[in-house]
Structure 1
């Protein structure tokens, strides 16, 4: 491998012409991506997760966002290329759209079914059948998008004690305790957000006391206080992630949120306007300020990711079929477009 040449993994929608999981080399000096190859051995791997850094062998996990939802484990060889490790494992639900690791368990947020599945990660990194499937309950006021639950993201808090699941259909975030022995999730609390917001994804401030929830049905960021000791989430204010739209402008559908490692900035991808919003948090992390919006470099930005050094931002643009990268101004947080690489139906981007 070249001098500190890294790897990026890009998930895509095979049902829309995507190539499955694309592996790209990352130039350590410029951040440029060079496609090395792809594998379509799992349908619609729209979201990916890497095993914990200490886990060996190195593993990559992918959802299969389909009616019969599944996940699949991939072994990474010494060149960082993924190879299937066992067959796809059904998650007992439909439309898994996000996944993450919690200890010895893999969790999936199942959008269509409105549930969260827990699967055991075996010592060799392969996956077992679901140990539990926690069904969400409820609805929201939007007759098209909120007639039923739609779990969109699942992740652990910085302490590793709690599992949070974001539900677009019920305008809520559930805080759960994970039984490490059985994999069962028990609902500890439920934070209710304003009706009709459609929460999609959240990100923690690096200090761990604030949670930023990005809403899809309204272009708003909900700022919440997070009490890790009590396992409680309290909404405190809402901040726009897009300027007020002109009459006839496309509707905004925010999709992905990233916090800078130093806690000074947030970036939000907004589909429809096809922009990246820059929010400054240095002065008051509980009151982010929208300071700029820039073009995402393509159409329909579904995901954002920072490189491991936190110097560059990458947007996976689903409809234009590319991943665009930006140099981030360290003083203003403003992304400047630096290049792009074609990746049909790109859904997410992840760095090793």
Structure 2
């Protein structure tokens, strides 16, 4: 059972949540996109006031899994699937990639080119720094594809890979290194405490040239059976890579390497939780380095439930954004805050380019117990002001209708093209 202090913290900012203005005129060069089920909604952003204004949504053929902007900021690439936990069908039958043109004045989205059919459920996508290639990771079976991006921004042909690639078990993220010479595939494995199938996790690195990948290294401590990496982000100025280790609730720091893509061993490994001795199951999640490289932010998630009077209610745990300061000489992160998440399961979040505003997106609404009373903690968009010291101050929460059946699976910030 959740104690009264935890219950109160969970509901803080939710009971009197502000209503989103729809179509309100707002001067903004930043747009925040939120995907709930198959629907993708743009919100113009007022960074100084920490306010959002909702715009007209667009839809895809299935539940949106992830999205990534083109370097030009004129196109947004979205991968969707009818598979996954929200659908109650892990496999699914509809898997697609779409390009959308971004209106440079408003951030409104318009379908751009043909829908591309994919073989299995995509879990992550990104674009290389040249803007010529769209990379997609698939979790089950674990794999990846590379697709050309045409000169007009539409999705082109798939690049055939002449080499047999080591794509591990349960791929979860695919990123291109800042020099555009390497690709890193995070493969989570399955090694959390209650996983039915226990599999090793690993970080796979590849050489990358003209859309073609070549195996370089598989990086994991020991046999990888106690290593569940989920996501990474790059320092904007230094050769440091920050990796969230999901099932071990850790933050690991690696160094970029010209030969292997990434150092074999981490430079540092840090805890992510406010209470490192908690016995409740936890999972580290999304991670982002601040635009100035002084801080790194990482989501802690807890979403497990137990039965109470015929209802599934939240068992308890930490839903927060962990804040670390970064030593600019060594790259070492130091935990300075665990900011309350004001929602359950912060699957994604993002910062605006100035680093003054962070917006987090809880995955779903969840039933919460306080004594013999059960109430619902809604999903929504949670806005925090970012101080000069990197710490977060809760600004407001806009509730939305994301549920376990229609999840807020991805959200992210895009700066509009000039």
Query: TM-score scaled by structure 1?
Result: 0.86
**1:226, distance to aligned residue in structure 2 (A):** 1.7
Verify: 1:306 aligned to 2:351, yes or no. yes
Question: Which has the greater radius of gyration?
Answer: 2
Which of 93, 106, 112 does residue 140 from structure 2 map onto?
A: 112
Structure scoring higher RCO (CA < 8 A, sep ≥ 6) equals 2
Contact 1:165 1:175 in 2 (8 A): yes
- Residue 26 of structure 1 pairs with residue 45 of structure 2: yes
- The 1:247/1:7 distance shift into structure 2, 3 A limit, reads closer
| Contact persistence 2:165–2:215 (CA under 8 A) | no
1:337 and 1:215, CA in 2 relative to 1: closer, same or farther beyond 3 A?
same
Q: CA deviation at 1:129?
A: 3.8
5+ residue gaps, structure 1, are: 15-19, 139-148
Separation in structure 2 between the aligned mates of residue 283 and residue 118 of structure 1, nearest angstrom: 34
**Deviation at residue 165 of structure 1 after TM alignment:** 0.9
Gaps of 5+ in 2: 1-24, 84-91, 190-199, 303-317, 366-378
After superposition, the Cα gap between the structure-2 partners of 1:246 and 1:13, relative to the gap in structure 1 and judged at 3 Å, is farther
Which runs of at least 4 in structure 1 moved beyond 6 Å after TM superposition?
none
Q: Over residues 67-105 of structure 1, what are the superposed CA-to-partner deviations in whole Å (9 max), with x where a residue is unaligned?
A: 34321111223432111123421233x221111111311
- Once the two structures are superposed, what CA deviation does each residue of 1:179-229 show, in whole Å capped at 9, x if it has no partner? 31xx32211222224532210001112233211110111101112122236
Residue aligning to 1:200: 230
Change (3 A) 1:290 1:6: closer
Q: What RMSD over aligned residues (CA atoms) do the two structures have, in Å?
A: 2.2
1:125–1:10 CA distance, 2 compared to 1 (3 A): same
> Once the 2 structures are TM-superposed, how far is the Cα of residue 172 of structure 1 from its aligned partner?
1.5
Partner of residue 348, structure 1 = 410
2:64 alignment partner, SS class: coil
Shift in alpha-carbon separation, 1:349–1:2, aligned structure 2, 3 A = same
CA contact (8 A) 1:323 1:346 kept: no
- Check whether the contact 1:201–1:255 (CA below 8 A) recurs between aligned residues: yes
277-286 or 264-273: which moved more? 277-286
- 1 CA distance for matches of 2:31 and 2:203? 32
Within the candidate set 83, 102, 124, 1:76 is matched to 102
1:300 and 1:289 map into 2 onto residues whose CA distance is 23
Counterpart Cα distance in 2 of 1:125 and 1:109: 20
Q: How far apart are 1:347 and its partner, in Å?
A: 2.2
Q: Could you tell me how far apart the structure 2 residues matched to 1:121 and 1:289 are? A: 39
Larger deviation, residues 310-319 vs 186-195: 186-195
- Residue 131 of structure 1 corresponds to 159
Equivalent pair of 1:5/1:28 in contact (CA under 8 Å): no
Paired residue for 2:296? 266
Within the alignment, does 1:279 sit opposite 2:324 as a pair?
yes
